[in-house]
Structure 1
């Protein structure tokens, strides 16, 4: 089968979105004239004849491929193997980038242009574009007459630039390739996107799947793909003789990061299965990259991020004041921002770029919210400069919270949205607003989708192209454009009559809270159960709370050990040694001292902890501990926050309330640092009182 790159793209569009594209929409998508599309369609008809298929047109001008499922499946298989006769511009730029990365010496422009099947003039234009792209990563392309062109810069920057190039220009192709890896021939020598070895990607995906949930919180889908390809790039660069050097990574990062145990584990698997041994420096590089990744679920956020939590509350206050909409008691928004901002801040501080394909659309569609969010970030995080890609992600979180206030009904569909937490929430709430005839909505990642019974859903909405499904599957924009809504309505007209029950609802706008989105409880029992759970958790914490004096302690470790023994004697934990060791491991991973106080917040989750509990140990001596901001803090008050291995969402909310109240204001800080049990208990009671009011009362 001999086709051009454009013909292949048109065929793929007709297969994946058959019946919804016209010649005009295809021309718009490809940025060519309608006449050019008509010329390509003539050639495509000849190609389809070989498979017993026909290209047909509906009354409304939309095109579709007519024929048996078997013939269409055979066409899909053939397209997956066929190499177009020409290459797209972005593919030629990728090949140029890869040639520069692989070269140890300067490359001559003449032979390089010949390899890419372009003129020298076109090659120079490509080099200009590529130089602009890599400049943001601290790389440069040197050009010397008579010598050639060469890529210069640190190896770590080259890897980051290559990974971001793939994510920016080939995001959908990457996700689709990874989605289909299970059916790939592991012995195949055909590279994916001209670079990735299939057997490496398969091994990496399987290893990450087995270990990511056990040793590190699940990644957001977009960061899962980013981490996966960065691992593959690291392995292939090492194998090709391009290791990291001393200038690429700071030695002190190695072994001291929360993500490092996972990297150690998966590196051992690669050494065994692929015979590629990564050095400590390479492992540290991947650990830094993983540390900067966003979490998949807001519930996965650690509840001890006191400083970040305080800053996020200020951020929500700033945005609320400027928009004149009170979002300060939206805990879902707080959780979502915590899940995103902690790794986001880490990425910015370590100069790890973050790619956001929606930045320009977010800026265009929500100009006011974008401006307000950007100015609020500058006000709250004075020492940090947020790039537009990061601002756009945060805008999606606030946009999601604002959209939920307009939510009027439920829908019945599966949303596959690998663009992150905020984007998936926004898509779901837009659906609830625009499609009241549907009965429920569920959000799933591409990884989870493969394990779900899709027949329980009436349709799938995905922000990336997916292989053909048994039920209607529509490719949509995460911000749900007008065209998407029209497309969804058209699909529902065909299938809703048989599958979807009509849902009747009413809404009295006067009863909707103006300050926060109305909480949804399916039954009275649900509401009472959550109230009971909140009450039980708070009562348990207050019952077990105490301030214990630990005089004459030799060091910080002894103070914590005495406190843990005290809790063991009270029956709050089953294994004192296990809890103590876990607390020490956590302290070595990152600073626990609260800046500008005499307090340190120690915490852990462990199966030997019987119930959530909060304790304070007061020492008559001060010990120097690493603070949460990296600087040393003189600590005499050790705050212990312990929880069972598995936390409910209610327990998560209550614990977050404690940790965030520690530095809520100067008065709160003084109270918790006072070591006065009576005053601290009164403060906690006041905090929990406000928490329950915000959670369950109506304005």
Structure 2
């Protein structure tokens, strides 16, 4: 690792620059970090000094911004080293305590207070206070912090409790949807994968082990596994990954699991055995028998996306014991409504499917996350209170307390049935929320990820840069959540801390609740404003295509690959973007050839992140003769059309589609192009796009 004496601020600057696919202004960088431009500029010498060790150059261009240039391998190496550097802002108490919890869960052996005080650069008294603060969280999962004078600090508790705590920590700090999507991605450079690979999760779980565990589970193609809900699936993966990691380190796994004697060797147990067999083959290890029971327990206690019973969708209640419990639960909820509730087949099947894993979780003290519990308590208070009586039925049956999270899920089942029964058809819609930061790339994406985890399908979240806020955008958005002031906002704006504290989230929650019950924004009087925005966007893109049209000659002996290389270099000044253009054009060519011998030209086109504006270019061999390479089939002109992969993709596709049709239907354009006069080509292009624009406007009326 080449990093030494690097400050947290410089580390953050480097991480932001590594995330960028295009130049970023110093002003935008400063806004993301809540610092002044001068402060950022003062740190540039330190940034340059670090980059030299990685053969990466910090480029800067007035009016464009700053960006990193270097090989992807070197950038990946820098990302890795930054992820291994544990510096953090020690003045942020919440972040420091979260990291301390992480350290304690990661290291089970004894550590002295001095170790942690040095680690976090605070006093031992501060660490002691932090330990008291996080001890309550650990206790919830059956773990204790043990202090031994002269020896140090360690964590004590059962293996099962230890795994529950790690799973809870990840559930509270990692988006489980993002985790599953990232680790199942076939593209190793996916943004989500990189953020997890180098984030806190990598400090608890071995990244390679997680990927291999998921590969094993996916490879089994078992319906019971693949229909697990997001949180249940991730919980199973985490559980297995921890066990594999411990076994590979030759750490002894607690085998005091007398509860396993009560497990029946049913379909779930045999599935657990199959999973263990796959894992043993993949990792070439011997897994203790107790792990079969642990995995079986997770499967039995898991929630599924589909209603299933021993692998089959249920159509009738056949288990007498469960039917008796269910009837007692419905009676306890509301004796007056009980009869009609028992006739609601959808409710009965849903509750039965929920009941079996619930009993498993209660019997074995397994935790379950309920991210909408506060909303349930607030918005369905009466039903929640009645479900407390339902929970008492389960407590009597299992002899175990029912956590409020479980009561919350029961409230959802009973609440939906009551709405159907009482005929209340309250319209609950998805709320359109705009997440705003300076660029629409950095801070807004972090906020979007956290809000998506909290509110899920209740909201449709879209990230915007400050300059993206038009009347059209505001017309289709219910309200904005912004980390900076928005001038002349026409809709409500909730101004928040970029880290989204509890007060911010509470404001957002209340606003979502309000808009869920309001009609969708489709006001007739706004139609003209929307059309004006659409016309302005179309006009701006057409103007860019005409004004920035490119014309250039290439060597007559050039090969197809060499032509793509020259196109990339000609149409982008940045080597990274130039490479993306080449790869995307080649990928498109491999789908089907873009050489049209019958028309005498090539139509090289693609959607790409290598450009930020639509590009139309004309390329010809020198001396106005045909390309000599046989691959070109004697064509004389190559037209290039690049569409940026952004929110205007439809408009730009329509423009380029019109140009494509013109090239085929209007021989005049080919004749002008072959003359090699750039301005004549531009004039003819302008004339045709003017006709297209008029037709577009008339189509809106």
More helix by share: 2
Which one has more relative contact order, counting CA pairs under 8 Å at least 6 apart? Answer: 1
TM-score normalized with structure 1 length: 0.49
Larger radius of gyration: 2
TM-score normalized with structure 2 length: 0.48
